[in-house]
Amino acid sequence: MMNVRITEEFPQNLEYMNLRVGAGLPEVEIYAIATALNRSVLSLLARDDNDRLIGMGRVVGDGAFYFQLVDIMVAASHLDQGVEEMIVSELLSRLEKIAPSGAEVTVITDVPGIKLYQHAGFKLLYPDRYGMARSL
């Protein structure tokens, strides 16, 4: 596996957009990127030996009781190399240091991502609870 460096920082707006597209996600309004990133509780970037952004993950929430992992994404060229696992593990490790005992961490994932999060200790909520979403 290549060397991957995980740092606590925000990507540049264009870096973020390029990573999204490179990870197969849709483009977003460029003006909204800075707002979203600045409202993060935590942001980690994964960079390769050439300092290229190859992955990232963020945490959003109220900073005390509720946290959600978002933007867990890795460039298609680096999938299945353990980068996703490194990002999730490091986000959770850092959250454990700043969140009070009993805080809840949630994640919304597609079906292929379930195993990644289960390996990190997440459990499916169903049938006890249901998640819902609405787009604006």
pLDDT of 68 reads 98
Which tens digits make up the pLDDT trace of 19-38?
A: 999 998 999 999 999 999 99
Q: Which CATH number is correct for 5-119, 3.40.630.30, 3.40.50.1820, 3.40.50.720, 2.40.30.30?
A: 3.40.630.30
**DSSP strand pairing (104-107 vs 66-74):** parallel
Q: How confident is the model at residue 127 (pLDDT cuts 50, 70, 90)?
A: confident
CA angle, corner 55, sides to 50 and 59, nearest 5?
Answer: 135
pTM for the complete prediction? Answer: 0.92
Which tens digits make up the pLDDT trace of 46-55?
A: 999 999 999 9
Domain spans, the chain: 5-119
Residues in the chain: 136
Q: What percent of the chain has pLDDT over 70?
A: 99
Q: How confident is the model at residue 131 (pLDDT cuts 50, 70, 90)?
A: confident
Q: How confident is the model at residue 132 (pLDDT cuts 50, 70, 90)?
A: confident
What does the alpha-carbon distance between residue 103 and residue 62 come to, in Å, rounded to a whole number?
10
